[in-house]
Structure 1
């Protein structure tokens, strides 16, 4: 009897052969082989996969294990909101034209160019990871797409007098740790998250 048990890690078919005149013995042997396969003794290699499948692997085996929990949650939301048509593409078939269409959809949905550029960077990182792990062999398709022009950003800033009054109010009303963080941000141009992450 010949029993096929899927594929091993080299993508070669795993087959087992057995011969016995007694039907019950053959049945026991088949059951034992199937149990061994289910317990991982024979590894069936998943096809290179679609973008959505590889995104799931990237999220679970890279982001979850190397990033902070808050980052993982934000990336989870990111993956959930990747358009279905893009997730269904085979990794080997993703072209820069698909990536361009994806970024265009984000713009059409009302996202600002700087937000779209952040998403583009995430995709560049995702495709780089996928290539290192041999999910596909082509060049990074998102890296071929240029960043969008973000134009000049106009920020409303406090006047020197407004800033002085703000710091005086902070000194009078805030606890020491918060007051220190506010002064640090004002005098170093540090971002709020950078300041609050300091220990």
Structure 2
């Protein structure tokens, strides 16, 4: 008999919840011959009723008649969750996802999945095992958002395993753990707060990153990959057509090739408010380069708008890790650097009501900008109204936002090409900043 009974001390109910009572469960055990004539065994246990077990037995026996399915069962019979995930992240995630997403998947698998269920045989993984892993993560103090991220990655990977017929179902989708709400996203900065921040970082290394992030909503990698060859001061435009590669080795001095942007690229107008910042940055970098040549020190001209004092590319971690410390020193409300992008989107939309043009400025899809602004609507119907957003309309939207901020750039000291670092000490601002 391929279906066997087994006594357990703590039986689960139909919803998978432990009842605290002993009971009987049913296991399926099928012996079969592989296509090459060798003996093999298929096992799956824990069915609540004999009827469920018999039904599963009949389904598997029918599938085992197909040689391809039998070979798959044999190959995957001893594969662990770790072995499968390690193979999956390289064969699928590395090829199909952005480098940053692939890297995030790898870290999530290594840190939050493998330590808890990596040793389990893939075809023996159950929703209760995944639930237990989630509970252990929460008990160790991991944030619900972190656990939810691990669940997303595991669910995607196991859904592919189900499609490959490595397992019958996706255990990550049948879990019962309530992860609750993730941490609240910080409120975007108002135009007054963006202005205050820009005034605080005037004359420091943070000035141009904050200008591009706060006024134009550019992504971190787009800012660090913006080159002067794509800036046309004469015609008042610049192109966001490339970005800093995701993996840049430490101490890199020369960037041979940039990466394509997440969007298809976009041309943006240089407004009257933004122009002085571009002109000042260009003059500052030229003075810095001349000073290095005069002093006989190396200068690596990568043509970057934002770079280190020797012209080398800035590391992405400089922005990510330093921005929070910068805000703490300025006594400003905490946001991530990426939230400057959200601030720009929110402020432009509130001032103009033109969410479509805002999306074009930020390089978002319709659904993407709608999600950022918390909007839900028929985007296909709206698309019919816009065949193309011309540069003039982008300028109108940006002019409205920049006029609401209108910071005055601080002129650099002509006798000193160096810049001060943004102070981490407490500073008083002429504009009161709300918390």
| Cα offset, 1:76, TM superposition | 2.1
Measure how far apart 1:65 and its partner are: 1.3
How far 1:11 moved relative to its partner? 4.6
CA distance in 2, matches of 1:172, 1:53: 52
Change (3 A) 1:182 1:171: farther
Q: Given the alignment of the two structures, is residue 59 of structure 1 paired with residue 89 of structure 2, yes or no?
A: yes
* Structure 2: gaps (5+ residues): 1-32, 39-70, 218-340, 348-358, 365-435
Higher alpha-carbon Rg: 2
Mapped to 1, the partners of 2:180 and 2:345 lie a distance apart of 28
Q: Aligned with 1:89: secondary structure?
A: coil
User: Residue 182 of structure 1: which of 189, 209, 214 is its match?
Assistant: 214
Whole-Å separation in 2 of the counterparts to 1:178 and 1:155: 17
Contact 1:51 1:90 in 2 (8 A): yes
What's the RMSD between the two structures over aligned residues?
3.7
Q: The residue matched to 2:172 in structure 1 has which SS?
A: coil
Going from structure 1 to structure 2, the CA distance change for 1:12 and 1:59 (only over 3 Å counts) comes to: same
Aligned length: 157
Deviations 1:66-104 (A, max 9, x none): 122232222222222334451221222211111111111
In 1, Cα distance between equivalents of 2:172 and 2:76 = 22
The TM-score with structure 1 as length reference comes to 0.63
Paired residues for 1:33-44 under 5 Å: none
* CA distance in 2: counterparts of 1:181 and 1:161, whole angstroms: 15
Q: 1:123 to 1:89 in 2, by over 3 A?
A: same
Structure holding more helix per residue: 1
For residues 119-139 of structure 1, give each alpha carbon's deviation from its aligned partner in whole angstroms, at most 9, with x where no partner exists. Answer: 1111111111111112112x2
Matches within 5 A, 1:49-198: 49-81=79-111, 82-84=113-115, 86-137=117-168, 139-146=169-176, 147-150=178-181, 153=184, 155=186, 161-169=192-200, 174-175=207-208, 179-183=211-215, 184=217, 185=341, 186-189=343-346
CA–CA distance in 2 between the matches of 1:84 and 1:182? 40
List structure 1 segments (4+ residues) > 6 angstroms apart after TM superposition: none
Instruction: Say if 1:11 and 1:168 are closer, same or farther in 2 by CA, change over 3 A.
Output: farther
Per the TM alignment, residue 164 of structure 1 is displaced from its structure 2 partner at its CA by 2.8
Q: In the aligned structure 1, how far is the partner of 2:106 from the partner of 2:36?
A: 35
TM-score by length of 2: 0.31
CA contact (8 A) 1:107 1:116 kept: yes
1: CA distance between counterparts of 2:182 and 2:115?
30
Query: Cα offset for 1:141?
Result: 0.9
**Structure 2 counterpart of 1:13:** 36
What secondary structure is seen at the aligned counterpart in 2 of 1:145?
A: coil
Deviations 1:131-165 (A, max 9, x none): 1112112x211111245112673747657644331
Q: Where do 5+ consecutive residues of structure 1 fail to align?
A: 1-9, 16-42
